[in-house]
Amino acid sequence: MLGNVAEWVEDCYVGNYSDAPLDGSANTKGECNFRVVRGGSWVTGQRRMRAAFRENSAPDGRNWSIGFRLARTP
């Protein structure tokens, strides 16, 4: 799952996990000026090539190395 594109997710970007939901749902509380981007793309270095790596991106920002994944439940 890692290495194709960095994954743009629903979570609002905050500096830590102190107010993160305990049930695993997306953190969408407060102002959401930036969203979380996880993992690394095919052009990033080893430090970013892990699911735990996260950085921020503007919700309307576009980049050729950021994408999203579709999931379907049976």
Query: What pTM was estimated for this model as a whole?
Result: 0.74
pLDDT tens per residue, range 38-50: 888 888 877 778 8
Total tally of structural domains belonging to the chain: 1
The pLDDT of 29-55, averaged and rounded, is 83
Question: What is the reported pLDDT for 34?
Answer: 92
Is the pLDDT reported for residue 26 higher than 80?
yes
> What residues make up the domain containing 45?
1-74
Band (pLDDT 50/70/90 cuts) for residue 66 is: confident
Band (pLDDT 50/70/90 cuts) for residue 1 is: low
Question: What is the reported pLDDT for 23?
Answer: 92
3-state SS, residue 24: coil
